[in-house]
């Protein structure tokens, strides 16, 4: 068991941090939502009631959509684009293992089954990482629209204004402001990491080049 935990520590710790921060978001969000409701003559809500509100759904998925968009785009862009000297880039002008044709690989017992199967299954598997990330982005994008429309309609009704559908809400400046304010921060973080890894190091991290490696060396 200890060995399994060590072998999967990076995933386990990040999953644990996600759950801890999500719980914090829910608890503080419910408290904040209740305060706002009471300030306008409404009633406080429970944690479960808060999780059914458009405000919670919108806040959650507008953040998830930006994360999955960033990762999906990053996976795809690193196939074609390079950054000389960055640990986040494939080597410039040199063949990389990621570009090797799996159809020419030696088949072994440990070879992933889609590679053994070949054909359309392998074609999909070759792009399965970006497919998953884009699917998660689209799902989060849709949930953001649904939750946002619900929260928007609550505000509209409180001001005697008509409600809107999720599609109509997607045509509002508010929806796109919420999206763009998250998207820009994600790509800023990627740009900083790509550029900083040319000159800066973090000993022991696979996201960094070896400390003594020259700045102009690209990839690993």
Judged against a pLDDT cut of 80, whether residue 39 lies above it is answered with yes
29 lies in some domain: yes
pLDDT at res. 99: 86
Give the Cα-Cα-Cα angle 16, 66, 18 (nearest 5 degrees): 5
Mean pLDDT, the chain, whole residue set: 94
17: pLDDT strictly greater than 90: yes
Question: What value does the mean pLDDT take over residues 97-119?
Answer: 92
Query: For 62-85, what is each residue's pLDDT tens digit?
Result: 999 999 999 999 999 999 999 999
CA dist., res. 61 & res. 150, Å (int): 13
Q: Domain check: are 17 and 121 in the same one?
A: no
pLDDT at 125 over 90: yes
Percent of the chain with pLDDT over 70: 100
Give CA–CA dist 34/25, Å, rounded. 14
Q: Please check whether residue 71 lies inside any domain of the structure.
A: yes
Give residue 220's pLDDT band: very low, low, confident or very high (50, 70, 90).
low
Tally of structural domains, the chain: 2
Domain that holds residue 24: 1-51
Residue 25 shares a structural domain with residue 79: no
Name the pTM for this structure: 0.92
d(CA 197, CA 72): 20
The overall longest dimension of the chain from CA atoms, in Å, is 70
Q: Are residues 79 and 120 part of one domain?
A: yes
- Residue 131, helix vs strand vs coil: helix
In a domain, 152, yes or no: no
Residue 2 neighbours by CB distance under 10 Å? 6
């Amino acid at each position: 068991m200890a060995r399994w935990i060590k072998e999967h520590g990076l995933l386990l710790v990040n999953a644990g941090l996600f759950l801890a921060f999500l719980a914090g978001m829910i608890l503080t969000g419910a408290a904040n939502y209740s305060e706002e409701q009471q300030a306008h003559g409404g009633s406080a809500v429970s944690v479960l009631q808060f999780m059914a509100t458009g405000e919670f759904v919108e806040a959650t998925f507008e953040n998830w959509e930006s994360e999955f968009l960033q990762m999906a785009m990053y996976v795809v862009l690193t196939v074609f684009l390079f950054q000389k000297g960055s640990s986040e880039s494939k080597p410039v002008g040199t063949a990389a293992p990621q570009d090797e044709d799996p159809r020419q690989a030696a088949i072994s017992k440990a070879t992933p089954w889609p590679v053994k199967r070949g054909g359309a299954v392998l074609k999909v598997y070759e792009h399965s990482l970006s497919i998953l990330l884009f699917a998660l982005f689209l799902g989060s994008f849709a949930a953001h629209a649904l939750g946002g429309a619900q929260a928007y309609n609550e505000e509209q009704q409180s001001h005697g204004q008509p409600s809107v559908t999720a599609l109509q809400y997607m045509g509002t400046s508010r929806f796109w402001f919420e999206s763009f304010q998250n998207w820009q921060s994600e790509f800023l973080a990627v740009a900083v990491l790509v550029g900083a890894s040319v000159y800066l190091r973090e000993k022991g991290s696979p996201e960094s080049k070896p400390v003594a490696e020259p700045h102009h060396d690209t990839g690993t």
